Amino acid sequence: MDLAVQIKQQFPHFNAELISEIVQHALEKEVPKDTELLREGQFIKVIPLVLKGVLKVYTKHEDKELLLYYIQPNESCIMSFSAGINNQPSKIYAVTEEDSHLLLIPAEKLSKWTKQFPDFNSLFFLQYNLRYSDLLDTINSLLFEKLDKRVLDYLKEKVAVTQNNPLKISHRQIASELGTAREVISRIIKKLELEGKVKQSATTIEILDL
């Protein structure tokens, strides 16, 4: 499919002039699963627009991660946008959760395009609202929900964004992304299995309670 046509289909509020600018200046790239796109402390060179696939955004302390949100098709990363437009180092990590087709917008274009194209601005206002809601959900989950519910909700969300069930995922990965110990996750997964909510094999976990 012609790139301009695809952009128009996935970002229908973009006008023709903005689409022409994106086609001219953005880098179209296929990025394999588990590729690190951004790390904490790195200055932003490009901002991703996701055409296909899923990106995972998280923060990290020592050997523990905390999942912040996923970026799905027709979305972008507001935290990368904020750091890029202000020429500040990243406060987050971003990695491809699935094989992804991305448009990489040069950070040097952000200031000009936000002034020139209101429809470009509107994309990031929408992303801000989405991510703000995601972060509130994460905080509420950390403060008020039991860990077994957090684990089940985490697995359900991963199924929803990747469209894979069963999930090929380890207890160690779940523990890392939820900021807890592998042994704790193993106990919770066994409990969820006994309750008939999940089914696990040596390498996968299937969600039965969708």
Q: What is the structure's pLDDT at 39?
A: 93
Query: What is the distance between the alpha carbons of residues 55 and 131, in angstroms, rounded to a whole number?
Result: 13
> Who's near 157: CB < 8 A, 6+ residues apart?
70
Q: Kindly state the DSSP code that residue 44 receives in the 8-state scheme.
A: P
pLDDT band at 92 (very low <50, low <70, confident <90, very high): very high
Query: What is the distance between the alpha carbons of residues 110 and 77, in angstroms, rounded to a whole number?
Result: 13
Looking at the predicted structure, is the pLDDT value of residue 125 above 80? yes
State mean pLDDT over 134-149. 81
pTM of this prediction?
0.81
Query: What is the distance between the alpha carbons of residues 201 and 42, in angstroms, rounded to a whole number?
Result: 38
Buried b / exposed e over 78-98, threshold 16 CB at 10 Å, is bbbbbbbbeeeebebbbbbbb
Q: What is the structure's pLDDT at 66?
A: 84
State mean pLDDT over 139-162. 88
Q: Which amino acid is present at 109?
A: K
State mean pLDDT over 107-123. 92
Looking at the predicted structure, is the pLDDT value of residue 126 above 90? no
Looking at the predicted structure, is the pLDDT value of residue 48 above 90? yes
Q: What is the structure's pLDDT at 134?
A: 83
For all residues of the chain together, what is the average pLDDT? 91
Looking at the predicted structure, is the pLDDT value of residue 145 above 80? no
Q: What is the pLDDT of residues 26-38, one digit of tens each?
A: 999 999 999 999 9
User: Residue 70 corresponds to which tokens in the numbers above?
Assistant: 């996923």
Q: What is the structure's pLDDT at 65?
A: 82
- The two beta strands, 167-168 and 204-207, are antiparallel
